[in-house]
Structure 1
C-alpha cells in the first residue's frame, strides 16, 4: 500500500458551543442577584448597552400566564376553585425591546501602642455633634458593636499600656460568635512579648461582658459562663469534658462519667441548655437578606392561579442604536469597525438571551404550579412526586435546561416562598396500588406522627405500620433515614429525653 499525503472529504455532526450559546446557558442558572451583577459588568463593558429608566412598558415587560387561557384540570374536586391551565405568553408578548427609542511592627514600642490605641478613639463616649442637628436620642438609639463594647471595658479595666495593646489585638482576633481565632504564639511574636504575657491578658479579658467571649472552644465558653455562676463543680466539669456524649444523647454514659443519678444529670443538662454558646451574637446584628422571588403566584376571584414574573427582578437593558449609528458612521479603521460590530451583536444577543431566560422561567414555573395544584390548595401532605423529566416533557425542553432554570429560583405562593427545586421529590409507592406518594410528604407525615406521640414513644417499626395503614409502602430503614435527616433521635433516645424532661 502506497504511503503518501491525500485529501479526503468527511461529513460529521458535532455540537459547537459558541460564546453566545454559552452565555445563554450561563444566564439560565444565575440567580436574580447574580444576574444583576452580570448585567452591571456588561453595561460597563459594552458602550452600546444602557439601562432602561422609568416605568415605561412595565405592564408588558415580562411574560405572564393569564388565568383566562387555562384549561380546567379534571382532577380538581367540585367544591374547590378549579385550576386554569397556564400557558406562558409568546415571545411577542414578552420583554419589549424598543430599538428606536434608546437610550506591623515586631516590637511593642510606645509609638506602636499609641497608634494602635488611637485608632479606637473615644470608644466609651457617644461621639460628637455634627452641624448641631444630632440629638441625645439619636446618639443612644444606635446599636453598639461588640468591638466597641469590649474596647470600652479595656479602657476602663486595663490601665497598663502594654496590656491594653495586647487586649485590643485579642479583640481583633474574635469571630462573629465571640470565639478567639488565631495563634497566640504569632501574636506574641508580633508584639515582641512572651506568650505567658498574652495568656495573662487573655484570662483577664475573658471576664469581660458578655461572659463567654474570648473562649477558644465551646467547652471553654460554657465553662466561663458556669464559673461566673459559681456552678463549675467537678461533676459539671466532667460533663463539659464529655460534650460528645451529650451530643450523642448517651445519658447512661454521662451519668457514669459524672457520677450523678438521672435527676441530677437532668438538672445539669438544663443548666447547660440555659447557657449561650455564641455570646457575641447579641451584638453586630446581621440583618438576613430576604429571598426575592423570581416568580409571583396568586389566586384570582374565580379560583384560578395566575403565574407571572416578578418585574422587580427583571433586568431592563436596551441597545442604543442611535449611538451605534453615530459611531459606526464615524469609524475609519478596520479594527474600529470590527469592534463596534462585535459590541452591537453582543448587545443584541444579550437582550434576546434575557428575554429567552424570562420566558423559560415562566414556562417551567407555570408547569410546576399546574402539576402541584393539590399542594397549593391542600398542603404539603398532598405534594405529588415530580422529577425533571416530567416538566421537561410537558414543555418540550431538555432536562438539563429545567435543572438550570430551577436552581436558585424562587416562587412566592400563598403558602410561602419556595425554591423551584423544592417541588421535585422522589416517589414512594402506595401500599394499596394507588398513586405514589412524594418523599417530602412522607417526611412531613413521619414528623407529624412523632410530634403527636406523647408519652408512648413510637418505634420505627410502629411508624412503618402507621404509614402502611395510610396506604404508604415504606421500609423501616427509609423511615430511619428520613428521621435522622430531620435530626430526630431514635425511639430509645426520645424515651430517655422524655424521662429526663428534656
Structure 2
C-alpha cells in the first residue's frame, strides 16, 4: 500500500471554554462564604468594580426577561440601569430604593466637599509631625480594655508536651515522648504508628518506648495515647478508685463479653454476683471513650441559608439571601474616562481589561443566583408534600428530574445543589437532601429513602432499651405501614444513621 500526504478540510462545532464561561462555572459551585471572599478580593484588586446600593429582583427575572446583561462594544461597557446602579424612572420606590437614593445623594455631596478641600495643606501639616490632627496620646479611655485580648487556645499536643516537660525524663526518652505525642489524633488515640515503628524512628529499644507510652497514658486526660478502645478504658479504670477494680478486671479478661453486654456470663467467669457486674458496667459506661475530644480544635460551623422558602397563604414564595454579599456595579468614572478618551496607551488597555473582567463577574453572579432560584423553584414544585408535612412526605427525586424541568444539564444542577442550603418551614436543608432514591410501597407509589430512614430512627427512639427491635422486626413494622423492604436494606440504612445493632443497643441495667 502506497503512502501519501493529503490535505482535508473538516468543519465541526465545539465548546470553547472562554474566560467568562470559566468564571461562571467557578462561581456556580462556590459556597456562600467562598463567593463573598471572592467578591471582596475582586473589589480590592479591580479598581473598576464598585460596591453599589441597588437591589436586583431576580425572582422577577427568572424567566430571562430583563436579565440585565452587560454589552461590550470594544470601547466601554454599557450596562442596564440595574447593573449601572441607577434607579429606573417609574419603578416601584420602596424604602430600600429611597434609602439608596439618599445614600447616593449624600455620597455626591461628600465628593463635592472633597473637591474643595485643601489637600496640599493637610498633607504638609501631617508630614511635619504630630499635631492637633492626630494627637500623640489620646488618653487611657481610648485604649482597648484587657478583656478584648484573647489568649491562644491550648491544643491537645501543647498540653501533653507541657506535661512531658515536667516528667523529668532523660533526653533520649523525652524524644520518644515527643514522637508519641506528635502521632496522637484528636480523639486521643495512637493509631498512625505502632510502638515498634516509633522505636525504629527514635533508635531506642522497644522496652523504653513501651515505658514512655505507659507514662503518657497516665497524663491528663487519663487514657490518652491508647491504641484501641479497650486499652483506653482499661487505663482509666486502673487509674480510678477501688470501685473500678472489677471494671478493670472485666475489661482485661472479658472484653468480648463486655461488648456484647452478656452480664450473666461475665458473672460466671469472674465468679461474682450479677449485681456486682451491673455496678461495674455502670462504671465502664462512665469512662470517656474519646479523652482527647475536649481539646479538639474543631469549631462549630454555622450555616447561613442561600435561599429562603416562605409559605404565604397556600403558596410558597422563594427569596434569595443577599445579606452579606456586596452589590456590584462598574465604576462610572472609568467608563466616562474610556468614552472621553482620557486614558491612552497601556493605561487604556489595562482599564478596558479590568472593566471587561468586572462585567463578566457581575453577569456570572447574576446567572448563579438565577440558576439557584430556578432549581429551588423546581424542587418546591416537586416536593410540595414535604414542605407541607415534613420528611415523612418526601418523594423520590433525581437530578435528571430537575434538569429536564429547568432545561439544564444534570452536572449544572449538581453544582448548584452542592453546599447550598435552603431555609424551609421544616428546617434548614442542603439542596442535595431533596435528591434521593426510592422504594415502591404496597400501593405502587415511590417512598424516598430519607423517609424510610426517618421511620427507622423514630421506631428505634421509641423502643424498649431492654428489648431493642431487631432488623427483622423493623422490616415487619415497616411492612405494616405499607413499606416493603429487605432486612439487608434496613441494616444498611441503620448503619448509615450510625445506629448500633439490637445487641449493641440492649441495656440490661
TM-score (norm 1): 0.70
Conserved in 2, the CA contact under 8 Å of 1:91 and 1:359?
no
Q: Which position in structure 1 is the counterpart of 2:84? A: 98
1:66-465 correspondence to structure 2 within 5 Å = 88=62, 92=66, 96-98=82-84, 145=154, 158=167, 169=178, 173=182, 175-179=185-189, 203-230=214-241, 236=248, 239=251, 249=260, 251=262, 255=266, 259=270, 266-283=278-295, 286-300=298-312, 302-323=313-334, 326=337, 329-332=342-345, 339-433=350-444, 435-454=445-464, 457-465=468-476
CA gap 1:265/1:131 in 2 versus in 1, 3 angstroms? farther
Q: Which position in structure 2 is the counterpart of 1:69? A: none
Q: Distance in 2 between matches of 1:15 and 1:141?
A: 53
Q: Distance in 2 between matches of 1:427 and 1:212?
A: 45
Conserved in 1, the CA contact under 8 Å of 2:472 and 2:487?
yes
* Structure 2 residue matching 1:92: 3-state secondary structure: coil
CA gap 1:139/1:406 in 2 versus in 1, 3 angstroms? closer
1:98 Cα offset (Å): 1.8
Determine whether 1:484 maps to 2:495. yes
Q: Which position in structure 1 is the counterpart of 2:56? A: 61
Q: Distance in 1 between matches of 2:492 and 2:353?
A: 55
Q: Which position in structure 2 is the counterpart of 1:113? A: none
CA gap 1:38/1:257 in 2 versus in 1, 3 angstroms? farther
* Structure 2 residue matching 1:97: 3-state secondary structure: helix
Q: Distance in 2 between matches of 1:131 and 1:42?
A: 34
Moved more, 3-12 or 403-412: 3-12
Conserved in 1, the CA contact under 8 Å of 2:247 and 2:281?
no
* Structure 2 residue matching 1:467: 3-state secondary structure: helix
Conserved in 1, the CA contact under 8 Å of 2:470 and 2:502?
yes
1:64 Cα offset (Å): 3.6
* Structure 2 residue matching 1:312: 3-state secondary structure: coil
1:179 Cα offset (Å): 4.5
Q: Distance in 2 between matches of 1:257 and 1:477?
A: 35
1:353 Cα offset (Å): 0.7
Conserved in 2, the CA contact under 8 Å of 1:294 and 1:410?
yes
CA gap 1:28/1:477 in 2 versus in 1, 3 angstroms? same
1:290 Cα offset (Å): 0.5
1:408 Cα offset (Å): 0.7
CA gap 1:134/1:192 in 2 versus in 1, 3 angstroms? farther
Conserved in 2, the CA contact under 8 Å of 1:388 and 1:402?
yes
Q: Which position in structure 1 is the counterpart of 2:24? A: 24
Q: Distance in 2 between matches of 1:189 and 1:7?
A: 66
CA gap 1:29/1:266 in 2 versus in 1, 3 angstroms? farther
Q: Distance in 2 between matches of 1:337 and 1:152?
A: 60
1:346 Cα offset (Å): 2.4
TM-score (norm 2): 0.69
Q: Distance in 2 between matches of 1:350 and 1:140?
A: 38
The alignment yields a C-alpha RMSD, in angstroms, of 4.7
1:206 Cα offset (Å): 4.0
Conserved in 2, the CA contact under 8 Å of 1:88 and 1:362?
yes
CA gap 1:286/1:98 in 2 versus in 1, 3 angstroms? same
* Structure 2 residue matching 1:33: 3-state secondary structure: helix
Q: Distance in 2 between matches of 1:368 and 1:380?
A: 14
After superposition, the C-alpha distances for 1:328-373 in whole angstroms (9 at most, x for unaligned) are: 743325xx65554443322211210110000110111122123222
Gaps of 5+ in 1: 66-86, 104-129
Conserved in 1, the CA contact under 8 Å of 2:238 and 2:248?
no
Q: Which position in structure 2 is the counterpart of 1:49? A: 49
Q: Which position in structure 1 is the counterpart of 2:123? A: none
Q: Distance in 2 between matches of 1:287 and 1:61?
A: 34
CA gap 1:94/1:419 in 2 versus in 1, 3 angstroms? farther
Q: Distance in 1 between matches of 2:500 and 2:170?
A: 53
Give the number of equivalent residue pairs: 439
* Structure 2 residue matching 1:296: 3-state secondary structure: strand
Q: Distance in 1 between matches of 2:167 and 2:503?
A: 52
